[in-house]
Structure 1
Amino acid sequence: MLGMEARRDGVLGLSLLAPGFGAGEPAGSSWLSRLKAEAARDFAAQGLPTRRREAWKYTDLKPLAEIAFRAPVTDDSASVRTLADLLDLPPPEGSRLVFVHGRYRPDLSFCDLSETGVSMSPFNAGTGDDKALAARLLGRIATAADQPLVALNTAGMEDGLCIHVCAGVHLQRPIEIVSLGSAASEPLAWHGRTLIVLDDGARATVIERQCAPAEMPAPALVNAVTEIALGAAAQLCHYRQQALGTAGFHINAVAAALGSDAVYEAFTLTTGGGLVRNDTSVTLDAPGAETRLAGAYLVDGTQHLDTTTLIEHRAPRTTCREVFKGVVDGTAEAVFQGRIVVQRDAQGTNANQLSKALLLSDGARVNQKPELEIYADDVKCSHGAAAGQIDREALFYLRSRGVPASVAQRLLIEGFLGDALSQISDETVREAFSRTAFAWLQDR
């Protein structure tokens, strides 16, 4: 009874986050209204995931149910512009689409119209073709039925973004998505949603920046979902930078479905957030599909970061590679759960996974759980996980040659993170992410 009561309280506490939560399906409603109503029912049935679920055993969401979040109502344009200036974002190379508290802000955005064969539109302002695409795919890749936070996002989203790159189009400039949160005086929650579709042979780079002030007077919940569909031989480079305030809760789910010979490269750099959960699911549905997942994280204080991945090989000759490295200081805690499933028909699979963490203090903790689930017999699969302190011999070597202790430690950490950062194929993004990571170290 206690478990049921706690789950019900969690549902009641979060009902304010999803407009129309728990309501029945409106008569004559659109496909989006029906999708939202169904998701609200799914979340009401499931409630917040607890640590009894294997996938959530290391991350406790009870604090969420204890906060009286509300959905944002209006945005102060002046304060948002000031926030954008404070973030010191570089000028966009291509399109930059800005969302504030999950709502599209055209006055802060810039759309590069020089390239043809691509559409970028919020759900509320899309063309007929984009709306039809969203109606066909939204909620089909990241399903709400067994993922409570995806259900909550679907029920609560007010706006979202659809990116569609037509067959054979190779975008020369990246598409940047900036999600901003302001330093509100009361707890706010918003639910960003993105759908990225690349048709056969298309290529694109998408850079996401999730930002908020370092000091926030009230906690915020950012519950974001990204769905990705790649056609045959399509290639997507997807880079994310997370820099929320330490009072922020960031739940982020990415679900990707890959066609034959498609390539999905993803990298996540995390330096902010009080509690962060990055949940990535990739299905390799056709022969020759490949995914490369990597990330670097730097957490301290009382931060909690959970990186959970699921890669499912469903077809022959599919490939995956995972490389995650992190630095944990203070009493912060990091989690890595990586699961690779090779189905019976996925002969010729090549999969490897690596997770390593550096612990800089006695109070720092890391939990790592790599998993291989293999049903085929012609495969090459490996996984490894390690955590420890800085190599004392290497530190002594640098100190003996006149390098100050703080500089020597920073150099060793930079070298440690370099392996993960080297997985970024885009040189400009790799250099920018490296500067951000190394600046975090420099400020210590």
Structure 2
Amino acid sequence: VRETVDMVEHPSAVVVRLRDEHLRLPAALLKLVMKKQLKFFPVIDAKGGLLPAFIGVRDGRSEGNKLVAEGYRRVLEARFNDAAFFFGRDCAGHLAARLPMLSKVTYQQELGSMEGKRTRVGNIASDLCGALGAAVDQSVVVHATRVAYADLVTDVVKEFPELQGTMGGVYARREQMAENVAVAIEQFYFPVAAKSPVPATAEAAVVSLAGKLDSLAGCFAVGLIPTGSADPYALRRQALGAVRIVIERNLSIDLLEAFKNAAEAQPVRSSDPESLSAKLADFVWGRATSYFEEQGFAVDEIRAVRAGALRDLPAALKRLKALQGARRDPSFEALAAAFKRASNILKQSKGAERGVVGDRARLVDKAELALYDAVQSAEAQVASRVTDGDYAGALGGLVSIKPHLDGFFENVMVMVDDEALKLQRLALLARLVGAFKRVADLSEIQTPAA
């Protein structure tokens, strides 16, 4: 609307009726022709259905609108006739019959053709199905990934690239493919923008995610990592899309493992695969951080759940909500400060306590014995609640340790000369810190004293 208004000095709307025969074309195609090519406005009903009319905007007063409307109609019908020609040619064949043409379409010079990408995406999607088990119908995923890129070599998509995926869904339905397969093809590129919907089904989500993982791993493998404003393969958008799909579709997918599998599938192998995976993880985590910030979480809260977050993003979101809720407790800041003190002591010990088996009988002070018992009790509760996804309950149980932790720091010296006793105390603090980190690393929380 703003663009149209800016093109005319005295905008005047003209309503023009469409011929019913043109409404037999896909609505998405008609809308794109009207909006992109001619700056006309489609008229839709309350349910989003296309009505047989459009609105053109002329410059000047409203005299002679009948002649203007007739001119608009003729111009638009000519474009519709072209679109109908392309659509008719496409409908004469099947999507599967177009697959050999993908070998002649280059995806990226070092990464090969779209046929190679199609094969990789299919393999990545199969790996994802294996991880998700019964949560997805693998036969649907296999069928959809096989032809998801086929519409790229159709005449309509060649003329209107914005309709990739959308036209694939149209052609799939015309071929009477199962509706869940058609949806997965149609929504292959979802989400197309930061605020647009994610795929509507688990199968569509897996197919879309597989495509994004392949693009990310491939481009990172050949050094096409976004810098500044340069992002020719829209990797930032694809990374955010992957994050949103996993979270909003509640998929229990280990993205670190998925990155590794996607990288191994690429025709170009990195000389340092671990470094490549780390860079890719950092890049995707950056998009996840932005997503969580938009959901209202503080930066220090997001940092606190960073460990292990990419292995289960839906769980990371639950951990964030639990942490944000616990932070409203007036005693939370003091708990975070005490936790940070324990964490700092462990850092100073440089891992000396690793491998030490905690033994209550070797502790001597009442305060450390009380903390030992509290940690022992809390660990079992935390393990059970984390397994059930009750991170708020897990964190609430850990918060109850605070009086015992305060008593420990008030009465116990950790770094004593008795090496065995020192290691037992360090091991106790390590158990405490480990239990908390199953939900959040409170040492990342900013407190007034920090």
Looking at both structures, which has the greater relative contact order when contacts are Cα pairs under 8 Å and sequence separation is at least 6? 2
Q: Which structure has the bigger radius of gyration?
A: 2
Larger fraction in helix:
2
TM-score, normalising length from structure 2?
A: 0.26
Normalised by the length of structure 1, the TM-score is 0.26
Structure with the largest fraction of strand: 1
